[in-house]
């Protein structure tokens, strides 16, 4: 069964507005989160964007409006998905794409890293991180507030509604 995702903040997918990650300028390619692409969340996730947008922080930042605009999509069968479900996946699957990594185990383990997302996009079409349901992944992927997917290439997106 295909997974279905939802994107909040826009009513329709405009392919002309989509920026492929491989077209990012170098300054946008390193960090903890990919820049551009299509962001969404598994429609069945209990730790997805809907929950974030209903949180106190989103209400304070006046972002609840995003729930009023959304569209549903899935991925085509040829999509190579990088799924990060647990801490071991982070190290085993994403480590080859690290830049400027520093791990400090002096007290609480702190990982300072940057990912070369352009290189990830050469090998994969999308990344799905289950950060909302895993507190360690949420800490490692600081800035990924919930279970999220980022689709790197327009050719992999199939719009449902």
Q: What is the pLDDT of residues 43-77, one digit of tens each?
A: 998 888 888 777 766 666 666 667 788 999 999 99
Q: What is the pLDDT of residues 92-138, one digit of tens each?
A: 888 888 776 565 555 555 556 778 888 899 999 999 998 887 777 77
Q: How far apart are CA 29 and CA 22, in angstroms?
A: 9
Q: Which domain holds residue 74?
A: 5-159
Count of positions (residues) in the chain: 161
* pTM metric for this prediction: 0.84
The token duo for 132 is 């909302």
What is the number of structural domains in the chain? 1
Query: Of the given ranges (5-9, 44-48, 108-112, 152-156), which has the lowest mean pLDDT?
Result: 108-112
């Amino acid at each position: 069964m295909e997974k279905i995702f939802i994107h909040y903040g826009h009513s329709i997918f405009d392919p002309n507005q989509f920026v492929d990650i491989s077209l990012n300028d170098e300054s946008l390619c390193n960090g903890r989160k990919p820049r551009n692409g299509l962001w969404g969340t598994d429609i069945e996730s209990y730790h997805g964007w809907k929950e974030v947008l209903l949180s106190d922080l989103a209400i304070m930042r006046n972002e609840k409006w995003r729930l009023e605009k959304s569209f549903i999509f899935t991925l085509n069968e040829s999509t190579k998905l990088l799924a990060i479900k647990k801490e071991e996946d982070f190290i085993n699957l994403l480590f080859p794409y690290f830049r400027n990594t520093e791990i400090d185990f002096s007290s609480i383990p702190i990982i300072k890293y940057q990912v070369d997302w352009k290189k990830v996009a050469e090998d994969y079409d999308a990344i799905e991180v289950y950060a909302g349901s895993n507190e360690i992944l949420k800490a490692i992927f600081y800035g990924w507030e919930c279970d999220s997917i980022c689709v790197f290439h327009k050719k992999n997106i199939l719009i449902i509604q």
